[in-house]
Chain A
Amino acid sequence: MTPEIPKRKWLSKSGQTITFAIVLALLSLLAFGLAKASNGPVESGMAPDFTLTGYDGRTVSLSQLRGQVVIVNFWASWCPPCREEAAYLEQTWRKYQGQGVVFIGVDWVDTQKEALAYIKEFDITYINGPDLRTIIADAYNIKGVPETFYVAKNGELRGVQIGPLQSPVLDQKIEELLSETYP
């Protein structure tokens, strides 16, 4: 009765396939987003490698520190809980300095002025540098600051401390990591 109108073309087989494809693509995207949102900070496997240029000009690269215990601490000058642990971190660094332990402070979305003031206030001597473009923070999937990652001598992650560190947790962890032996 009524002739085939061009509109039907859009609803034809190919149109349907395309529609399904788009819907499935969208659902996959949502699944990805969901997975990403529920992921916590990286806790196991090899610690993601990074290179950091400190405020004082020193450079450090995680992969070159193989054989040493590395404590990677994410902080920011505007973060009150970070201040709680700052003194303890520096103290522990000085205690284990030279025993094969390296401390790296990664400054997360901070301003240079405030960061330098913070470093001066707590007299921090281990290397601290800005996380340019938040590449390192993204690699470790941090959800906030402060977060401290423990890296064993062979480069593997041994867990993360979310929130400020309190004595003697860090000391114990370092002892644990130092005593690790590999066959």
Chain B
Amino acid sequence: MLADIGLFATAFAFLLSVYATIFSILGGLRERHAWVKSARNATLLVFPLLTLAVLMLVYLLYTLDFSIAYVADVSSQAMSPFLRITALWGGQQGSVLFWAWLMSGFVAAVLLRKWQRDREFMPYVIAVTMLTTAFFIGLVVFITNPFARLWHVTGAQDLITSVLQPANSMPYIPADGGGLNPLLRHFGMVGHPPTTYLGFTGFIIPFAFAIAALITGKARDDEWIRTTRRWTLVAWIFLTIGLVLGGRWAYDVLGWGGFWGWDPVENAMLMPWLTGTAFLHSVMMAEKRGMLKVWSMVLIILTYSLSLFGTFITRTGVIGSVHAFAKSALGPAFFLFIGLTFLGSISLLFSRLKTLKSEHRVESFVSREAAFLVQNMLFLAITFAVFWGTIFPMISELVTGTKITVGPPYFRQVTGPLFAALLLLMSIAPFFSWHKQTLPNLLRAILFPLLSSFVGAGIWGYLHRMHPSSIFALWIASFVLSAILYEFWKGIRARMTSRQENPLTALVNLFRRNHGRYGGYLIHLGVIMIALGFIGDSYFKQETQGTVSAGESLALGGYSLRYDGIRGYQGSDGRDIVEASLSLFQGDQALRSLSPRRDFFTVQQQPTTIPAVYSTLGEDVYVLLVDWNNQDMSTATFKVFLNPLINWTWLGAIIMVLGTVIAAWHSNQQEASYVLKTVALAPETGD
């Protein structure tokens, strides 16, 4: 009954989205406002319908209705209610519905807010968003339907999954479900897919407006950029959070002591983030200086296409990965859609090139415009390197017949220098003025941060003199940190002297008076903190593995771990747990006890390894239980990682979110001061 409601809701939503697509295009081309309005109403209805469908599915999962094939697949008796709900996106069918639902939510919100302001864009915004939504709902209805049931055809050996009842069959209701993949039973499951999907789907808004601007010939104005600026920030920050949560999840559950493995699915998520970040910056220049308009268009088309490509790889198994969903029938449909989207958007772009002339000029190679351009190029170069490395195995197989692996060593060596250049640029670019920056001025501006960075690098280099190759990376990090902190310091000092504010009030007011700029600085601060985590991971990571018997210790980098004992017991949701206990010492000082364990899920016959971690700001001690003597439990094998600076990554992500919230904050006052600054003042530190 409830499944049928869900079924009809999705089918109806599909029809409405097709209707909206057709009538918005026709209404726009023939200037029939009534049709566009009707399309809009249809669009607004899609979201509540999909909400209904999602609620139905959640209820079915929660109540463990195993007559539904999806529920039997991802849910089981042993799972907690919390996990049962997150199973909504635990499998292919549910996650496509979830994706479509989120997308329809974004679209509905944009239509409600922007209907009045951007009338002329609306028909094409609706058309683009609804075409995409129709595609995803179409996938749900026709190819991977979460409301399909299990049937047993008399005489056949296998069960059939289908929405409609096949001939000569009876419904089949298993006694228990397969249960969520053990690796997915972690709090990261709550955060990572939703934020990632929000990030991916959110980019459809600026994309749709960009296409609308191209079609209506209004691409020359920045209207489409201004309108979607906040939406872009929202999509981007969600994608950022999604990436970080994914990394955190991998760190907690996959048991290889790191958080970024350059796996194809990880790369698939990184690429739209890279171009999305480039896009964020290029639209700043398009808005402020009327430049890089074509380029911004290209970037948003690229970002959106890459996010489609990302979900295509993940869902179709074209490139093998530990992350990918089980193979499904989505492939051909998805492939056609990606092809159409990409070819269609660039054709449109090429045909409208004349409407995208640039306006302004610069006087010097050394200017903020130039810095933006170089930065964008660096982002694109990194994106290309990641893309090339990700698809090369396929190319190699096609051309030579041999399969090869392109792994972390490749990506580290190729993108490392580019990231370093990017960080360096990030530190000095705020010191460049628009138009032209004279070298003496520049040097004067960066003198203080540069000097403190040398001091900083000197200290760090001395502390880490065992790793001379790290000094350059550490210097860059110090430089960026000093530059950003210096900017804050200058601003605070200015307010303190001119307004007699105390430092704290001054800081708060800095943010209030100029969201964009200081929010941006905060975001950059977060970025360099995340970079610190990567630097620690690349240069200073230590690991060791050894077998010990009770009372013996393993030593690593000033720490020692004494093996105390091991025990086995039954866990909550159908798992057998073997847990070891260790005592962590630093020198002679006892710090705490750690309990790494190995869980074995009896139903899925799958083990997961849960590390025990001791975290400080400086480093993590990360311990894995690798093996143990099954006969008498006398010895056990442990793998210990020392991960310096890793917690800076998680902290940096929080700072980035904070900075983005500040930067995106709605402010009337900001508009006024922005206008004044660009026209009249252009102060030495640039704006």
Within 8 A of B (CB), among A11-42: 11, 16, 19-20, 23, 26-27, 29-34, 36-38
A29 and B395 contacting across the interface, CB-CB below 8 Å: yes
A172 sits at the interface (CB 8 A): no
B346 sits at the interface (CB 8 A): yes
Identify which of A16, A19, A30, A138 contacts B318 (C-beta below 8 A).
A30
A37 and B316 contacting across the interface, CB-CB below 8 Å: yes
B394 and A32 contacting across the interface, CB-CB below 8 Å: yes
* B327 nearest in chain A by CB position: A37
Identify which of B327, B346, B358 contacts A19 (C-beta below 8 A).
B346
Candidate in B327, B335, B358 with the most chain A CB atoms within 10 angstroms: B335
Known A33-B318, A34-B332; contact A27-B346, beta-carbon cutoff 8 A: no
Main secondary structure on A side of the interface with B: helix
Determine the chain A residues whose CB is within 8 A of the CB of B294 once the complex forms.
Answer: 11
Cα separation A20 to B401 with both chains bound (whole Å):
26
A167 sits at the interface (CB 8 A): no
A2 sits at the interface (CB 8 A): yes
B1 sits at the interface (CB 8 A): no
B520 sits at the interface (CB 8 A): no
A37 and B395 contacting across the interface, CB-CB below 8 Å: no
Determine the chain B residues whose CB is within 8 A of the CB of A133 once the complex forms.
Answer: 402
* B398 nearest in chain A by CB position: A32
Identify which of A2, A5, A26, A34 contacts B331 (C-beta below 8 A).
A34
Task: Give the shortest distance, in Å, between B408 (CB) and chain A (any CB).
Answer: 22
Task: Give the shortest distance, in Å, between A35 (CB) and chain B (any CB).
Answer: 9
Determine the chain A residues whose CB is within 8 A of the CB of B357 once the complex forms.
Answer: 2
Cα separation A32 to B316 with both chains bound (whole Å):
13
B171 sits at the interface (CB 8 A): no
Determine the chain A residues whose CB is within 8 A of the CB of B339 once the complex forms.
Answer: 27
A16 and B398 contacting across the interface, CB-CB below 8 Å: no
Task: Give the shortest distance, in Å, between A129 (CB) and chain B (any CB).
Answer: 20
A16 and B350 contacting across the interface, CB-CB below 8 Å: yes
Determine the chain B residues whose CB is within 8 A of the CB of A29 once the complex forms.
Answer: 391, 394-395, 398
Per-residue A-contact encoding for B384-403, CB less than 8 Å = 1, 0 else: 00000001001101100111
Cα separation A26 to B309 with both chains bound (whole Å):
11
Per-residue A-contact encoding for B329-342, CB less than 8 Å = 1, 0 else: 00110010011001
Cα separation A5 to B294 with both chains bound (whole Å):
14
Cα separation A32 to B339 with both chains bound (whole Å):
14
B317 sits at the interface (CB 8 A): yes
Cα separation A52 to B318 with both chains bound (whole Å):
30
Task: Give the shortest distance, in Å, between B125 (CB) and chain A (any CB).
Answer: 24
**Interface, chain B (partner A; CB < 8 A):** 294, 312, 316-319, 327, 331-332, 335, 338-339, 342-343, 346, 350, 353, 357-359, 391, 394-395, 397-398, 401-403
Cα separation A36 to B335 with both chains bound (whole Å):
14
Task: Give the shortest distance, in Å, between B203 (CB) and chain A (any CB).
Answer: 19
B343 and A30 contacting across the interface, CB-CB below 8 Å: no
**Interface, chain A (partner B; CB < 8 A):** 2, 5, 11, 16, 19-20, 23, 26-27, 29-34, 36-38, 133, 138
Determine the chain A residues whose CB is within 8 A of the CB of B338 once the complex forms.
Answer: 27, 30
B394 and A33 contacting across the interface, CB-CB below 8 Å: yes
B335 and A23 contacting across the interface, CB-CB below 8 Å: no
Determine the chain A residues whose CB is within 8 A of the CB of B394 once the complex forms.
Answer: 29, 32-33
Cα separation A34 to B331 with both chains bound (whole Å):
7
Cα separation A23 to B338 with both chains bound (whole Å):
11
Closest 6 CB pairs of A and B: A33-B318, A34-B331, A33-B394, A27-B339, A37-B317, A16-B350
Q: A11-B350, A20-B346, A32-B398 are known contacts; what are 15 more A-B pairs with Cβ within 8 Å?
A: A2-B359, A5-B358, A11-B353, A23-B342, A23-B343, A27-B338, A27-B339, A29-B394, A30-B338, A32-B394, A33-B319, A34-B332, A37-B317, A37-B318, A38-B331
Task: Give the shortest distance, in Å, between A95 (CB) and chain B (any CB).
Answer: 27
Cα separation A33 to B312 with both chains bound (whole Å):
12
Cα separation A36 to B397 with both chains bound (whole Å):
10
Determine the chain A residues whose CB is within 8 A of the CB of B350 once the complex forms.
Answer: 11, 16, 19
Determine the chain B residues whose CB is within 8 A of the CB of A11 once the complex forms.
Answer: 294, 350, 353
Cα separation A45 to B294 with both chains bound (whole Å):
52
Determine the chain A residues whose CB is within 8 A of the CB of B397 once the complex forms.
Answer: 36
* B605 nearest in chain A by CB position: A80
Determine the chain B residues whose CB is within 8 A of the CB of A2 once the complex forms.
Answer: 357-359
Task: Give the shortest distance, in Å, between B278 (CB) and chain A (any CB).
Answer: 17
Cα separation A135 to B190 with both chains bound (whole Å):
42
* A15 nearest in chain B by CB position: B350
Cα separation A20 to B358 with both chains bound (whole Å):
24
A/B interface sample: 12 pairs, CB < 8 A: A2-B357, A5-B358, A11-B350, A11-B353, A16-B350, A27-B338, A27-B342, A29-B391, A30-B318, A32-B398, A34-B335, A133-B402
Task: Give the shortest distance, in Å, between B593 (CB) and chain A (any CB).
Answer: 35
Determine the chain A residues whose CB is within 8 A of the CB of B398 once the complex forms.
Answer: 29, 32
Cα separation A38 to B358 with both chains bound (whole Å):
47
Task: Give the shortest distance, in Å, between A80 (CB) and chain B (any CB).
Answer: 9
Task: Give the shortest distance, in Å, between A5 (CB) and chain B (any CB).
Answer: 8
Identify which of B332, B346, B391 contacts A23 (C-beta below 8 A).
B346
* A38 nearest in chain B by CB position: B331
Determine the chain B residues whose CB is within 8 A of the CB of A36 once the complex forms.
Answer: 397
Determine the chain B residues whose CB is within 8 A of the CB of A38 once the complex forms.
Answer: 327, 331
Determine the chain A residues whose CB is within 8 A of the CB of B359 once the complex forms.
Answer: 2
* B329 nearest in chain A by CB position: A38
Cα separation A138 to B402 with both chains bound (whole Å):
9
Determine the chain B residues whose CB is within 8 A of the CB of A26 once the complex forms.
Answer: 391
* B356 nearest in chain A by CB position: A11
Known A11-B294, A11-B353, A29-B394; contact A34-B316, beta-carbon cutoff 8 A: yes
Task: Give the shortest distance, in Å, between A16 (CB) and chain B (any CB).
Answer: 5
Cα separation A20 to B347 with both chains bound (whole Å):
9
